[in-house]
Structure 1
Amino acid sequence: MSKAKLGSKAAPVRFEGVSKVFGKDVVAVDNIDLHVEAGRLVTLLGPSGCGKTTTLRMIAGLEMASAGRILIGDTDVTRLPATDRDVSMVFQSYALFPHMSVLENVMYGLTFSGFGKDEARARALQGLDLVGLKGFDNRLPSELSGGQQQRVAVARALVLEPQVLLFDEPLSNLDAKLRRQVREDIRAIQKDLGLTVVYVTHDQEEALAVSDEIVVMRNAGIAQMGSPRELYDAPNDRFVADFIGEANLIACEIVAVEDDRATIEIEGYRHDLPARGLPPGPATLAVRPSRLLIGASRGIRATVIKATYVGVRMEYTLEGAFGQVFAVQEDVDDPLAVGTEVLMSFAEKGPVLLPES
């Protein structure tokens, strides 16, 4: 990809007690505080109806906050219309004009922003070069693949040099292979130019792959925010544990705590891990499928009730007195048969006790 540079005016975004209510009583966003640092990519992640898209639209000025303040840089934009905010948005649908060439699509916003035709053309060509579409300027959108059309939409937003670049489910119309490629392109461009990006998705893997920070939203509020690794390794509660990647939730007993290290027990099998402030007694353990070890010399008795080959790994469903869990193994050459009795244990790192909600 070209290293051509467009100037960046990246600015931070801050929400202070922001709420959005539709009608009389439909609360879409409920009193959230949020700080997006300049030059960072922050993803709003959550299920449908959690408030993530409404939050994004309030940054863009497409929805007005019912309460609280929104700042971009040092400017209070809470009551400013979308046209007076220095932001650009890349939509799920690409929103390209089918009768215009690729170059004309990228130039479109520039011509309405006071740029002369020659300068608009030069900046549009630079934007296409940046997203890997040099030489595509005379093609129509219908002559491009879905991934190429999405890159045109990104180029059109980039050439305006916004303080904040917004993405609303930008990859949902692409197949799996293209999603991976385009998300890598978006992340590379964001890092290259030092852009402030707020990115909305419901896809956990996508969020983990592109983000400096993830904001997990639930029921119009923020459930947890942190780096991808922080959220994956130390979820606050059952919802976050299960939403950021898959997690097996297993009842356990904390039998001892010393120096914030806990010893847990499940059917006689013991494991040491951080106590996270929890006292001895009943607790819930979250274990990622890759952190479940099958075939250990000691562990919890279980039976393989489902075995699925997915190419690069085997996926197993195990059942025991503890319930059912989902596990993955890289050994595809010697798979376990359904009905096999096994001992199941945990990796040294990975299992995490969940603080009480």
Structure 2
Amino acid sequence: MAEIKSNAASVEFRNVTKVYGKSKVPAVNDISLFIEAGNLVTLLGPSGCGKTTTLRMIAGLELATSGQILIGGADVTRLPATDRDVSMVFQSYALFPHMTVRENVEYGLKFSGFSKKDTADKAKAGLELVGLGGFGDRLPSQLSGGQQQRVAVARALVLEPQVLLFDEPLSNLDAKLRRHVREEIREIQQNLGLTVVYVTHDQEEALAVSDRIIVMNNAVIAQDGTPRDLYDAPSSAFVADFIGEANIFDCRITDVAKDVATVELGPLSLKLPARDQRPGPARLAVRPGRIELGSAGAPRTLPGTLHKVTYVGSHLEFVVDTEFGAVFAISTTVDAQFEAGQKVGVGFCEHGPVLLTG
């Protein structure tokens, strides 16, 4: 029985720019990145930020205007898609409706020099890998959306590419199915040690599947780091608000000593990692789940008035009016006794506030 092997390779961009036609506005502007072999890295950002163009340049479906693209250390900048050892899973699945599931998975293998037996064995192994071993004789129309997506993954995996690319793979699935399929994709990637580049605009999806996340905005890289790095220590208000939600406060740094900043926020004085910031006006971000509501006038809190209290099942959501504007907070203590109009104190968890650097 044939097995699916990993030929995982690194991906590198060196000062890559992409400009379409006569446009003077780059779709991707002078970006450099390195993706280690065997990692799943997500390109995350709003529509038009350049993430899909970046993915298509890895695939060879778009050629860079300038700069270098390397796969496994080899320069592929000018190579067409047919000469790059990559496979892509599209948002639309792109299955042939008149072919069976098995024939869809075998399709690429037939043009890759494999014997008829090897083609059949690899297709069988690919379908078993994605949990569809008994579905080979069905047509795509006889499968659910999640099953069709898994067929598309199997078709890409059997080619044993150096890099596997996903373009918004879960956007056509409902929320519960998205969670299930993303877990399957992550498990397969880890078990086989694949290099995967994954494009999405869904922040939760990116946090759940990634070794690293590259956040893009306006054709450049806004921040690159692990999911925890980006969630706990965003570099800018854009990253803070795009990955999850964040309250942004204007504050003032009064002193910096040994990489610790003394920060004034209304009546509060906070000691925070300085992150190379100097004394003067600054901004800090606080996640809604790292805000604690207490009694009005409690020490180390900002005074506020509850504007709205919303019960959403698993948690309570609060909007608090303060001198710094509306503050959004979340509490998993769903039986907390708070009511709209109530005076409260807005406090921060020990590792809640973080200074923004950009």
Fold-level similarity (TM above 0.5): yes
For residues 337 and 182 of structure 2, what CA distance do their matches in structure 1 show?
33
Work out whether residues 85 and 162 of structure 2, in 8 Å CA contact, stay in contact via their aligned partners in 1: yes
Match runs of 1:50-61 below 5 Å = 50-61=49-60
Show CA shifts across 1:150-189 (max 9, x none): 1110000000000000000001111111111111111110
Aligned residues: 353
Tell me the residue number matched to 2:38: 39
Work out whether residues 266 and 302 of structure 2, in 8 Å CA contact, stay in contact via their aligned partners in 1: yes
For residues 123 and 276 of structure 2, what CA distance do their matches in structure 1 show?
55
Which amino acid counterpart does residue 8 of structure 1 have in structure 2? Answer: S
Tell me the residue number matched to 1:144: 143
For residues 26 and 73 of structure 2, what CA distance do their matches in structure 1 show?
28
Provide the TM-score with structure 2 as the length reference. Answer: 0.96
Query: Which shifted more, 143-152 or 262-271?
Result: 262-271
Using the TM superposition, give the Cα deviation of residue 266 of structure 1 relative to its aligned residue in structure 2, in angstroms: 2.2
Matched, 1:349 2:348: no
Using the TM superposition, give the Cα deviation of residue 335 of structure 1 relative to its aligned residue in structure 2, in angstroms: 4.7
Using the TM superposition, give the Cα deviation of residue 113 of structure 1 relative to its aligned residue in structure 2, in angstroms: 1.2
Work out whether residues 88 and 160 of structure 1, in 8 Å CA contact, stay in contact via their aligned partners in 2: yes
Work out whether residues 17 and 29 of structure 2, in 8 Å CA contact, stay in contact via their aligned partners in 1: yes
For residues 133 and 334 of structure 2, what CA distance do their matches in structure 1 show?
42
Using the TM superposition, give the Cα deviation of residue 116 of structure 1 relative to its aligned residue in structure 2, in angstroms: 2.0
Which residues of structure 2 form unaligned runs of 5+? none
Provide the TM-score with structure 1 as the length reference. Answer: 0.96
Work out whether residues 3 and 122 of structure 2, in 8 Å CA contact, stay in contact via their aligned partners in 1: no
Q: Which residue of the other structure, out of 285, 302, 305, is the alignment partner of 2:304? A: 302
Which residues of structure 1 form unaligned runs of 5+? none
Using the TM superposition, give the Cα deviation of residue 318 of structure 1 relative to its aligned residue in structure 2, in angstroms: 1.1
Which amino acid counterpart does residue 262 of structure 1 have in structure 2? Answer: A
Match runs of 1:206-225 below 5 Å = 206-225=205-224
Using the TM superposition, give the Cα deviation of residue 145 of structure 1 relative to its aligned residue in structure 2, in angstroms: 1.2
Tell me the residue number matched to 1:319: 321
Tell me the residue number matched to 1:126: 125
For residues 167 and 269 of structure 2, what CA distance do their matches in structure 1 show?
45
Show CA shifts across 1:105-161 (max 9, x none): 111111111222221111111111111112111111111111111111000000000
Residues 334 and 108 from structure 1, CA distance in 2 versus in 1: closer, same or farther, beyond 3 angstroms? same
Residues 26 and 252 from structure 1, CA distance in 2 versus in 1: closer, same or farther, beyond 3 angstroms? closer
Query: Which shifted more, 304-313 or 155-164?
Result: 304-313
Would you identify which runs of 4 or more consecutive aligned residues in structure 1 move more than 4 Å? none
Which amino acid counterpart does residue 164 of structure 2 have in structure 1? Answer: L
Work out whether residues 32 and 221 of structure 1, in 8 Å CA contact, stay in contact via their aligned partners in 2: yes
Query: Which shifted more, 267-276 or 17-26?
Result: 267-276
**Aligned partner of residue 48 in structure 2, secondary structure:** coil
Using the TM superposition, give the Cα deviation of residue 5 of structure 1 relative to its aligned residue in structure 2, in angstroms: 4.7
Which amino acid counterpart does residue 287 of structure 1 have in structure 2? Answer: V
Match runs of 1:173-192 below 5 Å = 173-192=172-191
For residues 199 and 335 of structure 1, what CA distance do their matches in structure 2 show?
43
Show CA shifts across 1:10-50 (max 9, x none): 01011111111101223111111111110001111111111
